[in-house]
Chain A
Amino acid sequence: MNIPPEVLLLIGISVCGSAVALAAFVWAVNTGQMDETESGALAIFDEGEPEGAQGQATGTGRQRRRSD
């Protein structure tokens, strides 16, 4: 069968793309990125901007914080 060279290039690129995805997945599993999913969700909070501190509202002239 006569496969045009540009099609071979596209297949090669697709295989490389998939290989990158597979490598990233294996890396993620091996380095524990898939464990501890509860703490992972908290990664966007810290002492200065803790969980439960509701956003200060820009553009309304009022400030909202949870009062508990």
Chain B
Amino acid sequence: MQPPAEEQAPDRLASRQELDRAAALPVLLYFGSGIAWLLAGTLLGVAASLKFDLPDWLGTIAQLTYGRIRPAHLNVMAYGWASLAGAGCLVWLTSRLCRVPIRRPEWLIASVLLWNLGVAYGALSILLGYSQSVEWLEYPLPAAGIIAAAFLLFASSILATFRARKVEHLYVSLWYIMASVVWFPPLYVVANLPIYTGVVHGAVNWWYGHNALAVWFTPVGLTLAYYFIPKVIGRPIYSYYLSLIGFWAFALFYNWNGIHHLVGGPVPTWLQTISIIASVLMVIPVMAVAVNHHMTTIGNFRMLRTSPTLRFTVFGAMSYTAVSFQGSMEALRTMQEVVHFTHYTVGHAHLGVYAFLTMILFGAMYYITPRVAQWNWTRPGWIKAHFWLSAGGVLLYVAAMVVGGFLQGLAMNDAAKPFVEVVDLTRPYLTARTVSGILMGAGHLVFALLFVEVVLRRGPRRLAPPWEAGGAG
């Protein structure tokens, strides 16, 4: 038996609790507002999906037509939920990995307020009809400017903490965090500049669209997986060497991928070919991550039953492998001929942003929240329900969209088939999508209630809370 941590190393424990206390307010603000946007975004997403089943529903209210609520859903989920929850996780993790209290916490609080303002401003603008009509960049300039300022405040706090670090060696997670905070701000600012026209605008659109995944959303998910899988299991990452190769290959190949969204479009063919090659080369860093996480977890799969953090994180890490291989294949011209402009792509997007990123964010929040709130989760059954609703929901979503989208693509390539037959063909799959959205939404509601309960310190205080014990969550 391992002795209780208090007797074993009082200094280290005190310092870990200090770190959590210093980060508590900003982290909980990031998490709380992230979860609020998750609920709002779910509502928009389910409503958008429901319009395929009931085409006349809300059809007479311009602000609630499909063309507005779908981009509002995307932006609220990306810049509201995933970005705010991710930023909160990175604040906490940077402090842990640098072993110093987070620097400039007041800048972080300002960042949360601005960020929420920007997301709300942008979402309302889209609903009122002031969208920029460029996917992932729909927010009008003032909203984008506010979000950029919020991100810079966040980045400056992370960089200040990094510079004050008390460690010699930078753990692989820190590499991903640093890459995000250094590369995402210039990317976001440059892509939002109102100077592009024509084909260049299309190229910039997808250069941004894919690099937002490359330098922000994916690194957030990977950095958390690289920390929490070995941490919770209590076993170092299988091959640290491989993780470094993975990081540098990722940095080298990922930023070329964006133009694969324009295969068959009016951009130069050589540009499309380079992008397809780079998309396939992504197999290298993805294999590195997949092998590493699998070999670290192997032999400890029973822990998936007892640790919610590990259950969500491992589900997310497996989805990362799946979505990446799917993406590499999807970039090929033969595949594009079938799946371009179909629901298949929508399935791919949700496998990435939900099954990979969102599930890992849930896992990280299950670990971080009780430590910063100094109050443990109270309802194990609810946590299980949240996992199965989210996991089951997204698996149904992806299966329906991938199968339905592929059949839709084949049918659309058949010139003899009337378009309305293709629409009819997709209907059962779209109904399955609405059902899956409702399942995930129920999971989000459960998670939100659990979060509120922990933050308000309601419910019975549990034995051996995680911030006192030696282990992880």
The yes or no verdict on A and B being binding partners is yes
**Residues of A bordering B, CB below 8 Å:** 4-7, 9-10, 13-14, 16-17, 20-21, 24-25, 28, 33-34, 36-67
Docked-complex contact A48 and B169, CB < 8 angstroms: no
Q: Does B227 make an interface contact (CB < 8 A)? A: yes
Main SS class of interface, B:
helix
Docked-complex contact A67 and B377, CB < 8 angstroms: no
**Residues of B bordering A, CB below 8 Å:** 1-2, 5, 8-9, 12-13, 16, 97, 167, 169-172, 178, 182-183, 186, 190, 193, 195-196, 200, 204, 207, 227, 230-237, 240-241, 243-244, 248, 251-252, 255, 300, 303, 305-310, 366-367, 370, 376-377, 379-380, 383-384, 462-464, 466, 469-473
Complex CA–CA separation, A49 to B232 (angstroms): 10
Docked-complex contact B377 and A59, CB < 8 angstroms: yes
Docked-complex contact B97 and A67, CB < 8 angstroms: no
14 example contacts (A-B, Cβ-Cβ < 8 A) are as follows A9-B195, A40-B169, A41-B240, A41-B243, A43-B167, A44-B227, A44-B230, A52-B235, A53-B472, A56-B466, A56-B470, A61-B380, A63-B464, A65-B470
Q: Which of B240, B462, B463, B473 sits near A38, CB closer than 8 Å?
A: B240
Docked-complex contact B8 and A48, CB < 8 angstroms: yes
Q: Which residues of B contact A17 (CB under 8 A)?
A: 183, 186, 255
Docked-complex contact B204 and A52, CB < 8 angstroms: no
B185 nearest CB across to chain A (Å): 11
Which residue of chain A lies nearest to B370 when distances are taken between CB atoms in the complex? A58
Q: Which of A4, A43, A51, A60 sits near B169, CB closer than 8 Å?
A: A43
Complex CA–CA separation, A56 to B370 (angstroms): 12
Which residue of chain A lies nearest to B450 when distances are taken between CB atoms in the complex? A59
Which residue of chain A lies nearest to B235 when distances are taken between CB atoms in the complex? A51
Q: Which residues of A contact B472 (CB under 8 A)?
A: 49, 53-56
Docked-complex contact A54 and B200, CB < 8 angstroms: no
Docked-complex contact B169 and A39, CB < 8 angstroms: yes
Docked-complex contact B473 and A58, CB < 8 angstroms: yes
Q: Which of A10, A53, A63 sits near B234, CB closer than 8 Å?
A: A53
Q: Beyond A44-B227, A54-B232, A56-B472, list 6 extra A-B contacts (CB 8 Å).
A: A21-B252, A37-B244, A47-B9, A49-B472, A55-B471, A66-B234
Complex CA–CA separation, A50 to B236 (angstroms): 10
Complex CA–CA separation, A5 to B204 (angstroms): 14
Docked-complex contact A48 and B5, CB < 8 angstroms: yes
Q: Which residues of A contact B240 (CB under 8 A)?
A: 37-38, 40-41
Docked-complex contact A55 and B232, CB < 8 angstroms: yes
Complex CA–CA separation, A58 to B235 (angstroms): 18
Which residue of chain A lies nearest to B302 when distances are taken between CB atoms in the complex? A64
Q: Which residues of B contact A38 (CB under 8 A)?
A: 240
A13 nearest CB across to chain B (Å): 5
Docked-complex contact A36 and B169, CB < 8 angstroms: yes
Q: Which of B251, B303, B464 sits near A55, CB closer than 8 Å?
A: B303
Docked-complex contact A54 and B466, CB < 8 angstroms: no
B162 nearest CB across to chain A (Å): 12
Docked-complex contact A10 and B204, CB < 8 angstroms: yes
Q: Which residues of A contact B243 (CB under 8 A)?
A: 41
Complex CA–CA separation, A7 to B243 (angstroms): 35
In the complex where A55-B232, A56-B466, A64-B306 touch, is A49 in contact with B169 (Cβ < 8 A)? no
Docked-complex contact A59 and B383, CB < 8 angstroms: yes
Which residue of chain A lies nearest to B242 when distances are taken between CB atoms in the complex? A37
Q: Which residues of B contact A25 (CB under 8 A)?
A: 248
Complex CA–CA separation, A68 to B304 (angstroms): 21
Which residue of chain B lies nearest to A35 when distances are taken between CB atoms in the complex? B169
Q: Which residues of B contact A53 (CB under 8 A)?
A: 2, 234, 470-472
Complex CA–CA separation, A62 to B464 (angstroms): 9
Docked-complex contact A62 and B306, CB < 8 angstroms: yes
Which residue of chain B lies nearest to A16 when distances are taken between CB atoms in the complex? B186
Docked-complex contact B470 and A49, CB < 8 angstroms: yes
Complex CA–CA separation, A39 to B171 (angstroms): 10
Q: Which residues of B contact A41 (CB under 8 A)?
A: 230, 236-237, 240, 243
Q: Which residues of A contact B248 (CB under 8 A)?
A: 25
Q: Which of A16, A28, A33, A48 sits near B16, CB closer than 8 Å?
A: A48
Q: Which residues of A contact B466 (CB under 8 A)?
A: 56, 58
